[in-house]
Amino acid sequence: MSCTIDATDFKTFFDRGQFLFGSTVPYEFPEVRDGDITKAIAEAEAVFNGDLYPVDTGICEQALNYLTAHFIQLDLETIESGGQTKLLQTSRSADGISESLSIPVWMNAGEFAFYSTTYYGQKYLILSKPYLDGGVFSVAGATSP
């Protein structure tokens, strides 16, 4: 892997209150512990290909931080919901009020759908997309025997 992060790097990257860092686990507002971050980094590294990103740009570390945040957010949502999964929502209505959410088709296709369930996963996909798509060019020419 061409880039790595640790719990300190993660806490520095998300230093604006996106997560409540600490060492206690109150049920109502669970704090994210260093062990939780380390576990999420390991989960992220299991599916992350750092070789997709250009060297020495910092994009690789950003993508890995967002993917780690995606796994932490999934854990926090699991605690909040009592273990129920969060499915992709396309529309909802109640008492004459309706809501529709739109996620780009490529994010909902195949293996990407899992990452599109959180804001952080979507940011990971957006950072990764330029490196996942290949350029296809047509060149005129012929071969000779």
Residue 39: what pLDDT? Answer: 92
Residue 62: what pLDDT? Answer: 95
- Burial classification of residue 48, based on how many CB atoms lie within 10 Å of its CB (0-12 exposed, 13-18 middle, 19 or more buried): buried
**pTM, full prediction:** 0.68
H or E stretch at 98: strand 97-100
Residues sharing a CB contact under 8 Å with residue 43, sequence separation 6 or more, in sequence order: 68, 71
Tens-place pLDDT, residues 49-108? 888 888 888 999 999 999 999 999 988 887 777 665 555 566 777 888 877 767 777 777
H or E stretch at 73: helix 59-81
